A and B are shown apart, each in its own frame.
Chain A
Amino acid sequence: MVTAVPERPPVLGRVTRSARTTPGRLSAAAVGLVLLTLLTGVFAALAVQDKRDTLDDLVQHREPLAAAAQQIFRSLSDADATAASAFLSGGVEPEGLRSRYEFDLLQAGAALGKASSDVGDDALAADQVSVLSQQLPVYSGLVETARSNNRQGFPAGAAYLREASGLMRSKLLPAAEKLYQINYGRLDGEQESAKEVPWVSVVLVVALLATLVLTQRYLTRKTNRLLNIGLVTATLAVALALIWSAVALFVLSTHVGDAERNGAQQVDVLVQARINSLKCRADETLTLVARGDGPGYEKEWAQLAATFTGDGQGNLLARAKDLAANDDLAGEVQLAVQNADEWVAAHRKIRELDDGGQYEEAVKVAIGDAPDSAASAFAKLDKNLIAALDAGRAEFFTQTTKAGNALTGLVLGIAVLAVVAAAGITVGIRERLREYR
């Protein structure tokens, strides 16, 4: 029996021909739907994982690095002001000032180590870290040379101290400030991206849902059967994934919004206030070291003091109070406002005394430990700012962690639901196909 082997039709022809038949269309729809479901599942899971990573990065790297950068600035600036105070105190510096200076340097070094491990591939930030790591030992070398000259009673000590302070103000502090700004900018950007709606996934899910609904309507028309269990299961699974994700992302963006407003922005305003207050303190002592008008220290003092005192619009502490998340924090900032005012009063007294020729008295008010001295007021202000900063950081951590918790199980959920949907589609359509055999 010889039968002519029919010529195999070309592939394209086969597909187009089979698409004209209902079973062919059904098979194609099944393959397409399963592929779309899996693709959507992968994209959605990746998008959620990406958010999770962003939130983890915020808590584990970005915020700690911003905090480390401001810690570096704080420690270095305080070291500079303390070295100047020690110089002003005459003779061998008091033990308290010496250990404060040493502690500042150690803290700056530790924070710098933290910063360089967190800096990652950000070239601009890495440049700042590099400047800091290169110049910090140079700075401390100069201060020690100044110290040994001072101990021998040589005025070259003062010259070395001026050189050290110049290095601090021209290279180290700007690098620390820039490192902070770079990091805060990146933190801000990451918070925004954490809040963003993952549009690609949304479009895919909506398209998937629409296709599922259309397919079911087509089947209902063709087979006169109202429900297809498999496809209904798939639709429900996709809908559940959509609702779950939507709720999770809504909760996430609410918490990230809180972290932004009451955490990051609050901390940023406080950091600016602290940086300016530290610069002011250094200006105050350096004016006395220069023992004259100096190179514009007093002018800078007046400009910067306006950013954390008074009724002006630029008062950072007033803004920090508005941003405060709770009464405790607001109370701490209020104390900072009072202590800043006390400091300004002490500073006025210093200038009056110094300008009136009572230099020794002025130095006493500047660095003495009387309760109304500038040193005491500044120390209290700094303590308030630290407490407020810590509270702001805690708020950031809590809210960002809560945002991350909102995503708990979502990646796995999306994966499982995608598999369930794909299985539902396969089973549902195969059932109909069987009816054509």
Chain B
Amino acid sequence: MEKLAGLVMVLLLAAGCASSGKPVDLATVTSVDEPQPVGVEINPPTTSGAASQVPQCDPTASLRPGTQPQPGAMPAGSTMRAIQDRGRLIAGVDQNTFLFGFRNPTSNALEGFDIDRVRDVAAAIFGDPNKVQYKVITSAERIDALKKGEVDIVVRTMTATCERWADINFSTTYYVAGQRVAVDRSSAITGIDQLGGKRVCAAKGSTSIAKLRQSAAPPEVVAVDNWSDCLVMLQQGQVVAVSTDDTILAGMVAQDPNVKMVGPRFTDEPYGIGIPKQNQDMVRFVNGVLERSTANGSWATSYGKWLAQAGGAATPPVARYRD
């Protein structure tokens, strides 16, 4: 019965359509629907409390180191002793930022300037730089990981700011970067002032994203989880520029000769090692490690290996203390 009805319908339709003879429509695709990195957000709302008053401070000044204990002999009751007893240092790092903290795809190992700092700390506690458990965290997860005590230290291109000092402690500054802009080699953009209304990539929870928002010509901010996602989006033409610390941008230029840095440095980003607020003994200990690394040339070796190609200050920043 259905078949009969169907046949009648087909005949009727055929009779009706025959006059309007038109080729059958092809399957049409109207938009490209580009693939995007996981977790990308366009112009996300600001999460860091802009309203809360941040006390004035000198974010680069940290706690003065005392006498440094010998590796493997941490004083009883100290934070370092707990780490030594555990048998490994738990460090929050990045595996996506070339030159600072990245996973070497060839050896599978984490490497970079930040990773060298972690290894220095581990060597000072255990006498063995390999006794580290790396936990990869995003920029936005850094403060939380420290507050919840999931990691002992965070070494992840982290700028010491007064706002962050309210939640965590920082070591002395181990490197000073500055924010700049990276664009395609063929781009006509020459600085941050030309980015108004354009799509610019930055990592969530970074100081760079906050600076972009405060810019006189605010761009459309594309927020991602990892800095390398920004390089991907720049290569795919989904953003016109990436703006962050020159050190991170240098890592992108090193991966793609068609990317160039433009415009002057318009901020100072003093990198410090993040440590939970309550572990003051650890802060002093880490500062002692940093002092020694500048004195014994380990900082300079690490600089030569990773950052010399990117330019920038070749001398370690002078340690400043608030006691």
CB within 8 Å of B: which residues of A? Answer: 43, 46, 50, 87-91, 130, 134, 138-139, 142, 149-160, 162-167, 170, 200, 290-293, 295, 356-357, 359-360, 363
Contacts and interface: CB of A to CB of B under 8 A. Distances in A.
A436 B226 CA distance: 102
Nearest to B230: A159
Given A150-B105, A357-B88, A156 B231 contact: yes
A159 B102 contact: no
Given A130-B27, A159-B228, A291-B95, A154 B136 contact: no
A91 B107 contact: yes
Nearest to B90: A357
Given A149-B255, A357-B132, A142 B35 contact: yes
Contacts of B104: 153
B38 A163 contact: yes
Contacts of A156: 98, 228, 231-232, 235, 252, 255-256
Interface of B: 1-4, 27, 29, 33, 35-39, 87-88, 90, 95-98, 102-108, 132-137, 226, 228-229, 231-232, 235, 252, 255-256
Given A155-B228, A158-B95, A357-B132, A166 B38 contact: yes
Contacts of A130: 27
Contacts of A46: 1, 3-4
Nearest to B102: A155
A166 B136 contact: no
B35 A166 contact: yes
Contact of B106 (A90, A165, A167): A90
A155 to B, nearest CB: 4
B38 A291 contact: no
Given A158-B103, A357-B90, A291 B255 contact: no
B307 to A, nearest CB: 16
Contacts of B256: 156
Q: Is the interface of A mostly helix, strand, loop or mixed?
A: helix
B105 A166 contact: no
B255 A359 contact: no
Contacts of A50: 2-3
A167 B133 contact: no
A290 B135 CA distance: 9
Given A46-B3, A90-B108, A155 B103 contact: yes
A130 B30 CA distance: 13
Given A158-B228, A162-B38, A91 B106 contact: yes
A292 B136 contact: yes
A9 B27 CA distance: 66
Contacts of B4: 46
Given A46-B1, A134-B29, A357-B88, A291 B106 contact: no
Contacts of B88: 357
Contacts of B3: 46, 50
Given A91-B107, A138-B35, A200 B90 contact: no
Nearest to B252: A156
Contacts of A134: 29, 33
A142 B36 CA distance: 11
A166 B95 contact: no
Contacts of B229: 159, 162-163
Closest 10 CB pairs of A and B: A357-B133, A90-B108, A166-B38, A159-B228, A155-B102, A292-B136, A150-B105, A291-B136, A154-B255, A357-B88
A89 B105 CA distance: 9
B134 A291 contact: yes
A295 B38 contact: yes
B15 to A, nearest CB: 21
Contacts of A360: 108
Contacts of B95: 155, 158, 291
Given A90-B106, A91-B107, A155 B232 contact: no
A158 B105 contact: yes
B167 to A, nearest CB: 20
Contact of A159 (B27, B96, B107, B135): B96
B105 A167 contact: no
B232 A164 contact: no
Contact of B105 (A90, A170, A356): A90
6 contacts: A43-B1, A87-B105, A150-B105, A155-B102, A156-B252, A163-B38
Contacts of B255: 149, 152, 154-156
A57 to B, nearest CB: 14
B235 to A, nearest CB: 8
Nearest to B229: A159
Contacts of B27: 130
Contacts of B90: 357
Contacts of A138: 35
B232 A292 contact: no
Contacts of B98: 154-156
Contacts of A154: 98, 105, 255
A142 to B, nearest CB: 6
A269 B225 CA distance: 37
A152 to B, nearest CB: 8
B13 to A, nearest CB: 14
Given A158-B228, A159-B96, A363 B38 contact: no
A1 to B, nearest CB: 56
Q: Which of A156, A158, A291, A359 has most chain B Cβ within 10 Å?
A: A156
Contacts of A163: 35-38, 229, 232
Among A153, A155, A166, A360, the one with the most B-chain Cβ atoms within 10 Å of its Cβ is: A155
Contacts of A158: 95-96, 103, 105, 228
B106 A153 contact: yes
Contacts of A170: 38
Given A91-B107, A167-B35, A293-B135, 9 more contacts: A134-B33, A150-B105, A153-B106, A155-B102, A158-B95, A159-B37, A159-B226, A163-B37, A291-B136
A43 B102 CA distance: 74
A89 B106 CA distance: 9
Contact of A155 (B2, B37, B96): B96
A151, A159, A166, A167: residue with the most chain B Cβ atoms closer than 10 Å: A159
Contacts of B252: 156
Given A46-B1, A291-B136, A359-B133, A157 B35 contact: no
A363 B103 CA distance: 14
A189 to B, nearest CB: 14
Nearest to B29: A134
Contacts of A150: 105
Given A160-B232, A291-B134, A155 B97 contact: yes
A22 B110 CA distance: 106
Contacts of A153: 104-106
Nearest to A139: B35
Nearest to B2: A50
